[in-house]
Amino acid sequence: MTKTHAPAAGAALTALGVALIRARETRRPDRLYDDPLAAAFVDAARRDFTRTEEGAARWARVESLAEAFFEGRSAGVRLADDRVAEVVADGVTQLVLLGAGLDTRAYRMDLPADVVVFELDLPELFAFKEPVLRAVAARPTARREVLPLDLRADWATPLRERGFRPDLPTHWVDEGALPYLPVADHVRVLETLSCLSAPGSRFGLSRFAVDPEAPHYAELRRLVSGDAAAPGSRDDTARPGERWLIEHGWRTEFRAWDDLVAPLGRPVAVGDPQVGVVLAVRD
């Protein structure tokens, strides 16, 4: 049995919750996507956490949170999958996952061999992820480049060193990692990816109405930041939005969440036309 060390705190912990969600979705007969590797991550993480009584209690909290976020987050995975499939069909061959977590699109989406998937995330996340993938002999269909790093530091240089070509269109994927950064670092990431984006590059910026004091969001904050962390909410109004993208050379189109999820047949509509995704294309 491969020895692993699942991340037990910090933003990397959220990747385990998403893996739980993907594993549960995969078990459904009416699943929105199929991610057979998610169960391997879940099994390995469960073993790591349940070695101690304290860890088992923490794992139970992660499972409870995954349950609370399941419907909406699972629909979000499917929408991100659809966007990846769309851009690849349009000829985009570079995908950059910002805060890749335990993403497995390089394995499960049957991407062409000429597509390169650059996965950026914290070293402790990949220290858990890579041994699990090796243990199950997973083989990606696309070329996969792993970059263990902190997005608050210089990531453009190592990205280029791993073969990224700024002269080719890129699809940048953020499924919720950037809002965990301080606002200034969030802006710097968007400035960097804008500078690296050739015409035709794509990016999606989520626009959600979140009550950070709702019980499940408060519990998520405690798990990520620690139970002793001071209560508080992040100020998303100060973060880059659609106007920022337009001012930095992106052409944008807003798609309401309810319109996007309507074909999925899941109870995830929010009834707010301002909630959705800003789809951006580099001019």
Asked if 83 and 206 count as a contact pair (C-beta separation under 8 A), the reply is: no
H, E, C per residue of 51-117:
CCHHHHHHHHHHHHHHHHHHHHHHHHHHHHHHHHHHHHHCCCCEEEEECCCCCCHHHHCCCCCCCEE
Q: What are the boundaries of each domain within the chain?
A: 13-282
What pTM value is reported for the model?
Answer: 0.94
Class level of CATH domain 13-282: alpha beta
- Using DSSP, state whether 260 is helix, strand or coil: helix
Full pLDDT tens readout for the chain, 283 residues: 667 889 988 888 899 999 999 999 999 999 999 999 999 999 999 999 999 999 999 999 999 999 999 999 999 999 999 999 999 999 999 999 999 999 999 999 999 999 999 999 999 999 999 999 999 999 999 999 999 999 999 999 999 999 999 999 999 999 989 988 999 999 999 999 999 999 999 999 998 876 667 788 788 888 887 765 544 444 556 789 999 999 999 999 999 999 999 999 999 999 999 999 999 999 9
